Amino acid sequence: MYSLRSLPLLATITHFLSATATATATMRPRTAEDNDDTPLPVVIWHGLGDTYAAEGIQQVGQLVEAAHPGTFVYFVRLDDNAGNDQRATFYGNVTEQVAQVCAALAAHPILSCAPTSSAATRRPCATC
């Protein structure tokens, strides 16, 4: 059974992805890369009081993978320990957390060379 707590997040992600896809498709000319059927990676960052290991967050990732097989799903974590990750949502410095997550995404072997937010270009990367 899926938790209903995940629905607002899923609705937000779905709306964002559909709006981004529509805007991207109409704003630039089609290229050979448009025929690339490799799924874009998905980054999921849980909310206040939650943790990357929470059942509802993991279910959202499973829904993404079920809808688009082969999609790489990355769960943002502020600490490898789920309890510390949850505490960080209440007591952490948000500015430092955003910088920490940006650094982790930039250093990740898959996410660092994934298509940019405009989905128009790929950064060259030996692991992609």
Give SS3 for 117.
coil
Question: Which element (helix H / strand E) includes 42?
Answer: strand 42-44
Q: What is the mean pLDDT of residues 98-105?
A: 94
For the stretch 36-92, pLDDT in tens is 777 889 999 999 999 999 999 999 999 999 999 999 999 999 999 999 999 999 999
**Calculated CA dihedral for residues 16, 90, 99, 53, nearest 10 degrees:** -60
Q: Which segment, 15-24, 64-73, 113-122, is predicted with the most confidence on average?
A: 64-73
Asked whether the whole model's pTM tops 0.85, one would answer no
How far, in Å, CA of 62 to CA of 68, rounded? 10
How far, in Å, CA of 110 to CA of 73, rounded? 10
Which of the four pLDDT bands, split at 50, 70 and 90, describes residue 127? very low
How far, in Å, CA of 63 to CA of 61, rounded? 5
Q: Tell me, what's the pLDDT at 117?
A: 53
